Chains A and B, each alone.
Chain A
Amino acid sequence: MSVIRVEIEGAASRAEAIRREADEPHSELVRFGAEKPLRLDAGVDLSPFQIAYKTYGTLNAERSNAILVCHALTGDQYLIGEHPATGKPGWWETMVGPGKPIDTERFFVICPNVLGSCMGTTGPASKTAGGEPYGLSLPLVTIGDMVRAQAMLLDHLGIESLLCATGGSMGGMQALQWAASYPKRVFAALPIACAARHSAQNIAFHEVGRQAVMADPDWRNGRYLIEGTSPRRGLAVARMAAHITYLSDSALHRKFGRELQDRKALTFGFDADFQVESYLRHQGSIFVERFDANSYLYITRAMDYFDLAADYGGVLANAFRGAKTRICVVSFTSDWLFPTSDARQIVHALNAAGASVSFAEIVTDKGHDAFLLEEPELFEIVRGFLKAAARARGLKAKG
């Protein structure tokens, strides 16, 4: 009994620690007051608001070596090193660090928490001036809003233009939005495993996740933080469903097959007989400890609303017309969330706009999550692309 109680208390205190991050993150923080509102696509101003961010490496004297890493749906600013709230390693340890493809000995890496998230940048879990969390009173945010907020962060940091904006999944959407919205502020962009618009299938998956959260009675119309509940079951189901889409049929088969979980025979019940069930339940339960349910609703919505062509008269090429930004698009063969056909659509538009574009499709069975995992070919491509961009920008070679 006592062991279980300690575990529950541990989870509760972790949840409390995570909740504190929403307002007082461990990372760097910039607050924008009433004099600097953020004009949202929803048509209202957000003010005051704050951006939590981490930086790695050193900005050079010319301020020309900054790389913006944009995180995905449930990511955060903690790229590498131990996460202050979860104790887990950073989400892009494979890619970022000294000597890594995004080399922190050469580049100044900035990773902001996105608008709408819950790790210190203003989102539904953040407290309003009145002291209560926003909940659903926060206006909806878009990928464009996230990027506009990031541009304000760069202004604050005194960085006129980035060497590169990059990221996977929703991070890739932001990198594309950067290339479209601020072509003069991004020398290069490296969107990975993403699309220029969210597909009907992806909107459908997100809707299932949101409905699971909102069907949980503990969601309380988004007021759970005020009412002292937590829609854990709903959010866990949302995460379980989403997690399937991040993998692939063959990766699931390779990892789990039809293996049973800690048992020799089927139990003829609804307990987690199969390893894959146990795995998904585990993924769901650890997720609810570290993520805010309303943030999940807001950010999935931001992805659903993303349609870069729509902002440019329905012609994607117009989003990149006249852009000098060098762009490298990467996709993975087994990614069924953002299949290669989505990447090709971006590449066609970039070609039509006369932009400098590279495109590589990487063979892997790891599905959408491949961008987070050990993929040597991805590392070579990122390393080569950044090296060429740095050379073209006149950065000194690494000494």
Chain B
Amino acid sequence: MVAPETPPLPPMQFAPRIDLVVVAEMVAPGARVLDVGCGDGELLRLLAETRGVDGRGIEISREGVNYCVAKGLAVIQGDADVDLVDYPDDAFDYVILSQTLQATRHPRKVLEHMLRIGRYAVVSFPNFGHWRIRLQLLTRGRMPVTENLSQSWYETPNIHFCTIRDFVELVRQLNTKMERAVALNGRGRPVRLHAPWWFWNMFGEQAVFLLSRRV
């Protein structure tokens, strides 16, 4: 299955987070979208405004859910590790996991469910292979704390960090097709397009992947 070509986003009044823009650009207009771990609903709103999607969300925190619902978004309280089971096959065109993969207990199972529920999965995550993180671990010998990953190891909800190469390997194991991939550097700019994986893994601070089921 080849993901549909998607036009760039229209100009906006506000400046959304760059990784959300990259995610939104991978989603076809008018699609049915499930955002797993939708937080305060910023991505769902961006998708509704720029892509006219029929969007739903799952969010684990009650504050996040109630905020979203009060904003008129179709969001339910739920846990990616537990509640994706209840969704039927092919219920959505896209299932999105934005900056949430590393906080799930069973990332592999979550990905499998995403590709069962949706035709496409969009996954964005912080890259633990970024040179700054490697440098911190190398020089200080302690778990890295950066601007993006600002919590100490004992209080972070992120329990399953991975690098871009780790993720690519998992995608291969899942027999899933990689449709598109973007790595963003520390300044939020895309890392050079045709660079080899090791280069992305070194200089990408975060990555966004568009995956599809192999038929």
Instruction: Return A192 CB to nearest CB of chain B, in Å.
Output: 12
CA–CA, A358 and B75, complex, Å: 5
Give Cα A362–Cα B62 distance, bound, in whole angstroms. 8
CB contact between A383 and one of B62, B70, B76, B87 (< 8 Å): that residue:
B70
Given contacts A328-B69, A381-B66, contact A359 B88 (CB under 8 A): no
The answer to whether B54 touches A388, judged by C-beta atoms less than 8 angstroms apart, is: no
Asked if A14 is at the interface (CB within 8 A of a chain B CB), the reply is no
For B88, what are the chain A residues with a Cβ–Cβ distance below 8 Å?
352, 354
Asked whether, in the complex, the Cβ of B72 is within 8 Å of the Cβ of A387, the reply is: yes
Whether A356 touches B56, Cβ cut-off 8 Å, given contacts A351-B87, A361-B77, is yes
B189 to chain A: closest CB distance in Å?
35
Q: Is the CB of A384 within 8 A of B72?
A: yes
Is the C-beta of B91 less than 8 angstroms from some C-beta in chain A? yes
The answer to the question of A380 belonging to the interface, with a C-beta cut-off of 8 Å to chain B, is yes
Q: Which residues of B contact A358 (CB under 8 A)?
A: 68-69, 73-76
Q: Which residues of B contact A383 (CB under 8 A)?
A: 70
Interface residues on A, range: 20 to 34
- Cβ A377 vs Cβ B72 within 8 A: no
Within 8 A of B (CB), among A346-399: 347-348, 351-352, 354, 356-363, 377, 380-381, 383-385, 387-389, 391
Pairwise interchain contact B66-A377, C-beta atoms closer than 8 A: yes
**Alpha-carbon gap, A348 to B88, bound state (A):** 10
Establish whether residues A359 and B86, one from each chain, have CB atoms under 8 Å apart when the complex forms: no
**Interface pair A359/B70, CB less than 8 Å apart:** no
**A359-B77 in contact (CB<8A):** yes
Shortest CB–CB separation between residue A229 and chain B, in angstroms?
49
In the assembled complex, which residues on chain B have CB atoms less than 8 Å from the CB atom of A348?
86
B65 lies within 8 A of chain A by Cβ? yes
Q: How far is the CB of A164 from the nearest CB of chain B, in Å?
A: 13
CB-nearest residue of chain B to A388:
B72
B72 touches A385 (CB 8 A): yes
| Cα–Cα, bound, A351→B78 (Å) | 12
- Residues in chain B near residue A361, CB distance under 8 A: 62, 65, 77
Residues 59-94 of chain B, each 1 if its beta carbon lies under 8 Å from chain A, else 0? 000100110111111111100000000111001000
Chain B: minimal CB distance from A346 (Å): 10
Q: What separation, in Å, do the CA atoms of A354 and B93 have in the docked complex?
A: 12
Contacts of A71 in B (CB 8 A): none
Main DSSP-derived SS at the B contact region: mixed
Q: When chains A and B are docked, how far (Å) is the Cα of A99 from the Cα of B54?
A: 29
Which residues of chain B come closer than 8 Å to A381, judged between CB atoms?
66, 69-70
Min distance, Cβ A126 to any Cβ of chain B, angstroms: 40
In the assembled complex, A290 has its CB within 8 A of some CB on chain B: no
Q: Enumerate chain B residues within 8 angstroms of A360, measured Cβ to Cβ.
A: 62, 65-66, 69, 77
Minimum distance in angstroms from B175 CB to a CB of chain A:
26
Q: A348-B86, A351-B87 are in contact. Are A356 and B74 (CB under 8 A)?
A: yes
Q: In the complex, what residues of B have CB within 8 A of residue A389's CB?
A: 72
Using CB atoms, name the residue of chain A closest to B92.
Answer: A354
Q: Are B72 and A391 in contact (CB under 8 A)?
A: yes
Instruction: Sort chain B's interface into a size bin.
Output: 10 to 19
Cβ of A19 within 8 Å of any chain B Cβ, yes or no, is no
A362 CB contacts on chain B under 8 angstroms? 66
Partner of B86, one of A352, A380, A384, A388: A352
> What is the CA–CA distance of A352 and B87 in the complex, to the nearest angstrom?
5
The answer to whether A106 has its CB under 8 Å from any CB of chain B is no
CB distance from A191 to the nearest CB of B (A): 14
**A interface secondary structure, majority:** helix
Q: Is the CB–CB distance between A363 and B76 below 8 Å?
A: no
Task: State in angstroms the CA–CA spacing of A33 and B18 once bound together.
Answer: 65
Q: How far is the CB of A295 from chain B (nearest CB, A)?
A: 35
Bound Cα distance A385, B67 (Å):
11
- Would you call A326 an interface residue if the criterion is a C-beta within 8 Å of the partner chain's C-beta atoms? yes
- Give the contacting residue for B54; candidates A356, A363, A377, A387; CB below 8 A: A356
Which residue from chain B places its CB closest to the CB of A354 in the assembled complex? B91
Chain A hits for B54, CB < 8 A: 356
Task: Using CB atoms, name the residue of chain B closest to A362.
Answer: B66
By a CB distance below 8 angstroms, the chain B residues around A351 are: 76, 86-87, 91
Name the residue of chain B whose CB is nearest to the CB of A327: B74
- Report the bound CA distance from A256 to B190 in whole Å: 63
* Chain A residues within an 8 Å CB radius of B65: 359-361
Which residues of the partner chain A approach B75 to less than 8 Å between Cβ atoms? 358-359
Give, as a whole number of angstroms, the nearest-CB distance from B56 to chain A. 7
Q: Which of A347, A348, A351, A356 has the largest count of B CB atoms less than 10 A from its CB?
A: A351
Do A347 and B66 touch (CB < 8 A)? no
Task: State in angstroms the CA–CA spacing of A381 and B62 once bound together.
Answer: 13
Chain A residue nearest in CB terms to B72: A388
Q: Are B56's CB and A357's CB within 8 A?
A: yes
Shortest Cβ distance from residue B55 to the other chain A in the assembled complex, whole angstroms: 9
Closest to A377 in B: B66
Whole-angstrom CA separation of A4 from B95 in the bound complex: 70
Q: How far is the CA of A388 from the CA of B62 in the complex (A)?
A: 20
A-B contact pairs, 6 of them (CB 8 A): A358-B68, A358-B74, A380-B70, A383-B70, A385-B69, A389-B72
Given A352-B88, A361-B65, 18 new contacts (CB under 8 A): A326-B74, A351-B86, A351-B87, A351-B91, A352-B86, A357-B56, A358-B68, A358-B69, A358-B73, A359-B69, A363-B62, A380-B70, A381-B70, A384-B72, A385-B69, A385-B70, A389-B72, A391-B72
Q: Which residues of A contact B (CB under 8 A)?
A: 326, 328, 347-348, 351-352, 354, 356-363, 377, 380-381, 383-385, 387-389, 391
Q: When A and B form their complex, which 6 residue pairs have the shortest distance between CB atoms, in order from nearest?
A: A388-B72, A384-B70, A359-B76, A380-B70, A358-B69, A360-B69
